[in-house]
Structure 1
Amino acid sequence: MTTATTAPAREGHIDPAAAFVPVQTRSERPTSYDPADFGQPTGREVNWKHTPVARLKALLADEPTAEGAVAYGTDGVPEGVIVASMGHDAAVRGEHFRPEDLPSALAWKHAANALHVRIPADAELDAPVRVDVTGTGGLAHAHVIVEALPHARATVLLYHSGTAQYAQNVEIIVRDGAALNLVTVQRWDDDAVHVSAHQARVDRDASLTHVVVSLGGGVVRVNPSVELAGPGADGKLYGLSFADGGQHLESQVYLHHKGPHTVGDVLYKGALQGAEAHSVWIGDVLIGPDATGTDSYEANRNLVLTEGARADSIPNLEIETGDIVGAGHASATGRFDDEQLFYLQARGIPEDEARRLVVLGFLGEIAQKTGIPALEEELTAAIEEELASGADA
């Protein structure tokens, strides 16, 4: 495998040798396997300007993984689902994934072997395939491959806890006719820093449901990029976050409609409470020139519970063909709906309880989309704990 690749300049752009042209859209970003091809982020770049770069210092240094920094638990995973993936040139690794920033390139370099979760062709797994990622401290890098072979049906859960400085790549390939539900949960300790790049390709008549749940960690930045490559591909991208004081929770979402008659649905919801609680959502949708018959919509909703919290929300939409079914985007950030609270209080529900019910109803929609009942119950309890801690503060 070539050690580095760079995305070609798009037609009509000025030659970089003649003049500097800043990258403005997700589809223009250069990619490379070599960390040396990326400069140190300053916080002024379009993909870093909302991120607390200084807090990512460990993940921007070209240093190897610390021994024992992260443990991976795969107990209960069916036999044959975890397969060997040794070395950077192993089969499947890099088939779709291309690092587009420095932490991702460093994770590629320092994760010599990948954790490869492969769902066999035509298999229908009733129970979720759960991988527990437990940080024990220190710097760690990872490359994870989740591959659903043709006509497979499965749910894969990546569950993160403990503490670490963790740079992670997740390469997702959904083969023809397969249906994959991938859920990533971040319930790190308060001092953890987690930067993750998820890149997915969805082939002909296949579907991917991708759910990001971020509740714990000091800085958590999970950036999903999904290419609906084959005709009839379907992508559903959902997110839930609850940021407390001092937490930074971020997702930069990219959905590329490449094949014809593809369907996309993006919905991220977040709640924030406490001083300097910060969430960032950037949603980019590209409907390519061959993506005729596309139907796509993206939305981000944020509920600010206290003074001092901030939510940045930026939806973007590029359309390169006029032959589509529909496309749109929306973003809303606000406080409690006074009419909802009044309705509940008018029926004898105390104000604190009314607020709790509103938040649970708001975020519960995404918790249900995980498709894992036990996890939905856990997340509901976790949201209630977050609310209770805010009320006690």
Structure 2
Amino acid sequence: MSATTPAQAEQSAPKHMRAPVPVQTRSERFTSTEVTDFPEVTGREAMWKYTPVARLADLLTGELDGSPYVYDATTASGVSTEWVGREDARIGTAGTPEDRASANAWTHFQQALLVRIAGAEHKEVTLTRSALGGAARAAHTVVEVAEGANATLILQNSGSAHLAENVEFLLGAGADLTVVSVQEWDDDALHVAAHFAELAEGARLKHVAITLGGGVVRLNPSAHLAGARSDAELLGAYFADATQHLEQQVYVHHDGPETRSRVTYKGALQGEGARTVWIGDVLIGPKAVGTDSYEQNRNLVLTDGARADSVPNLEIETGDIVGAGHASATGRFDDEQLFYLQSRGITEEEARRLVVRGFLFEIVQRIGSPALQDRLQAAIEAELTTSVAAAS
């Protein structure tokens, strides 16, 4: 009988039981649609070490209600919605779960909500969920954008929720999609989401994540720039209050030639126990010649007792690129800005509000939907009105 080498023994074992091997590149992470393929989450794992996993226990390990839910959708020419079965060929096209929460949602959803978008004329559609309730739930959404289609899709979330979900965006050649995911959940809501986008040749995606509510919100968007000259802009703005945990783990994979990406996330924190996490991964693959990429994260800490973690990562596997870079900064109010405003007769309280307002509005004003921008600006104003920093 021939001896089995340690390497052969490891490869013959189930994937989740193999000895941990350092992941050499971001694209080599283990993926699976089955929750049982992932080990139990301890909070020591690289992708979970910033997350309050105890608060998410029912979404990580428990049974989830994957039945269809109530939603509202505005109408527009060329846009349709319907529930489709798990066997639909489009499901799984844009990505596969990399963590247990995403896999748990994938394991338990019964039907996926399919949103079809067609037609070159720009249209705006709002999909609203406000009655999910407090039971642990799984959801799956597929957004199919036809070749040459142009649209803005607003995903509006509010009310109570204990939700784990996956959302896939399939952009055909030359398609142009702006998607705005707005999280205005109740204070006790739990929301863990993975957004996967697949871009064909010449497709353009603007993905905007605005998070103002919820107890724990972890939204991880990823964009696979598979087609030549595809373009992705990932933007985010978030405002965390006391005990609130808001987390974003962003991944951009440049795969096709002459692709471009820009990632800009900005957040403000106030109150004891307020916590934000931003992790940005950019991978420029060996075929992605001519890539132009840049990512940045900025955080403004308004009070003592708040904490922001920011981790940018950049991997380059080809030397033939236009440019690539990343930046991260976390700080308090700029004393010079406050002094300048106060020297013009503005009170310190109002000066602080103006600084935060301008800091976050830089993201909001890039959405491109005037009505939504106005509403989000009003929501941020409401946060600032109750800000501990404004009253100090």
- For 1:289 and 1:66, how far apart are their aligned partners in 2? 39
Q: Does the CA-based 8 Å contact 1:298-1:328 persist in structure 2? A: yes
1:210 partner letter: H
Q: CA deviation at 1:85?
A: 4.3
CA deviation string 1:98-135 (max 9, x = no partner): 11111111211221111111111x33233x21100113
SS in structure 1 opposite 2:129?
A: strand
Q: Which residue of 1 aligns with 2:26?
A: 26
1:199 to 193, 196, 203: 196
Q: Which residue of 1 aligns with 2:3?
A: none
Q: Which residue of 1 aligns with 2:245?
A: 248
CA deviation string 1:297-329 (max 9, x = no partner): 000000000000000000000000000000000
2:379 partner letter: A
The question of 1:276 aligning with 2:273 is answered yes
- For 1:203 and 1:309, how far apart are their aligned partners in 2? 41
The question of 1:71 aligning with 2:70 is answered yes
Decide whether aligned partners of structure 1 residues 65 and 16 sit closer, same or farther in structure 2, where only a CA change above 3 A counts: same
Q: Which residue of 1 aligns with 2:4?
A: none
Q: CA deviation at 1:229?
A: 0.6
Q: Does the CA-based 8 Å contact 2:174-2:204 persist in structure 1? A: yes
CA deviation string 1:172-226 (max 9, x = no partner): 1111001000110000000000000001011101100000001100000000010
Q: CA deviation at 1:25?
A: 4.8
- For 2:313 and 2:25, how far apart are their aligned partners in 1? 9
TM-score, length-normalised on structure 2?
A: 0.92
1:124 partner letter: E
Q: Which residue of 1 aligns with 2:103?
A: 105
Q: Does the CA-based 8 Å contact 1:71-1:133 persist in structure 2? A: yes
Q: Which residue of 1 aligns with 2:222?
A: 225
- For 2:166 and 2:358, how far apart are their aligned partners in 1? 32
Q: Which residue of 2 aligns with 1:131?
A: 127
Structure 1 stretch displaced more, 301-310 or 58-67:
58-67
Q: CA deviation at 1:19?
A: 4.8
Q: CA deviation at 1:138?
A: 1.2
Decide whether aligned partners of structure 1 residues 25 and 220 sit closer, same or farther in structure 2, where only a CA change above 3 A counts: farther
The question of 1:324 aligning with 2:321 is answered yes
- For 1:365 and 1:241, how far apart are their aligned partners in 2? 12
Q: CA deviation at 1:372?
A: 1.4
- For 2:41 and 2:155, how far apart are their aligned partners in 1? 28
CA deviation string 1:317-351 (max 9, x = no partner): 00000000000000000001111111111111111
Sequence identity (%): 58
Q: Which residue of 2 aligns with 1:159?
A: 156
TM-score, length-normalised on structure 1?
A: 0.92
- For 1:108 and 1:200, how far apart are their aligned partners in 2? 16
Q: Which residue of 2 aligns with 1:179?
A: 176
Give unmatched runs, 5+ long, in structure 1: 1-13
- For 1:324 and 1:273, how far apart are their aligned partners in 2? 40
CA deviation string 1:31-56 (max 9, x = no partner): 11111101111000010000000000
- For 1:141 and 1:124, how far apart are their aligned partners in 2? 33
SS in structure 1 opposite 2:182?
A: strand
- For 1:67 and 1:293, how far apart are their aligned partners in 2? 44
SS in structure 2 opposite 1:343?
A: helix
Q: Does the CA-based 8 Å contact 1:82-1:115 persist in structure 2? A: no
Q: Does the CA-based 8 Å contact 1:66-1:139 persist in structure 2? A: no
CA deviation string 1:243-277 (max 9, x = no partner): 00000000000000000000000000000000010
- For 1:129 and 1:111, how far apart are their aligned partners in 2? 24
2:85 to 84, 87, 100: 87
Q: Which residue of 2 aligns with 1:386?
A: 383
CA deviation string 1:139-189 (max 9, x = no partner): 111101111100000000101000110011000111100100011000000
Q: How many residues align?
A: 376
- For 2:120 and 2:324, how far apart are their aligned partners in 1? 34
SS in structure 1 opposite 2:188?
A: coil
Decide whether aligned partners of structure 1 residues 138 and 341 sit closer, same or farther in structure 2, where only a CA change above 3 A counts: same
Structure 1 stretch displaced more, 21-30 or 100-109:
21-30
Over aligned residues, Cα RMSD in angstroms? 1.8
Q: CA deviation at 1:137?
A: 2.0
- For 1:306 and 1:26, how far apart are their aligned partners in 2? 35
Q: CA deviation at 1:16?
A: 8.9
CA deviation string 1:262-296 (max 9, x = no partner): 00000000000000100000000000000000000
Q: CA deviation at 1:83?
A: 4.0
Q: CA deviation at 1:64?
A: 3.1
- For 2:111 and 2:67, how far apart are their aligned partners in 1? 14
- For 2:23 and 2:56, how far apart are their aligned partners in 1? 22
2:373 to 366, 369, 376: 376
